[in-house]
Amino acid sequence: MDEITKVVRDYIIREYVQEGDEQEITETTPLISGGVVDSFSMVSLLRFLEKKFAIHIPDSAATPEAFDSVERIVALVRRFQKAEVGSV
């Protein structure tokens, strides 16, 4: 598991998985459709990603689909990391 994946997964487990919930969070576990992350909670997750990885993710890219698994979130982070590098 690479560093970005680990950071995202650990954060989701720490902040969103409830105590006593036996659900395992893998890279492909449905987060929004699976009810782990509510669509209202996406804002705080977005803030975390932007701060942790020093990127800006526009609202148009922050869709429930793009946040629906660790794997997709990591892809989103990578996409905007490249954009940040490209804009320098």
- Cβ atoms of 67 and 24 within 8 Å: the answer is no
- Cβ atoms of 80 and 57 within 8 Å: the answer is yes
Find the part of the chain contacting another protein (CB under 8 A) among 1-9, 28-36, 72-80: 28-36
From candidates 26, 28, 39, 84, binder to another protein by CB under 8 A: 39
From candidates 3, 24, 51, 86, binder to another protein by CB under 8 A: 51
Q: Which two tokens stand for residue 2?
A: 């690479």
Question: To 5 degrees, how large is the angle CA 58–CA 48–CA 19?
Answer: 130
According to the binding rule CB under 8 A, does residue 10 interact with another protein? no
CB 47 to another protein: min, Å: 5
* Burial category of 77 from C-beta neighbours within 10 Å (exposed 0-12, middle 13-18, buried 19 and up): buried
CB 49 to another protein: min, Å: 11
Positions that interact with another protein (CB under 8 A)? 15, 18-23, 30, 32-35, 37-41, 43-44, 47-48, 51, 63-65, 68
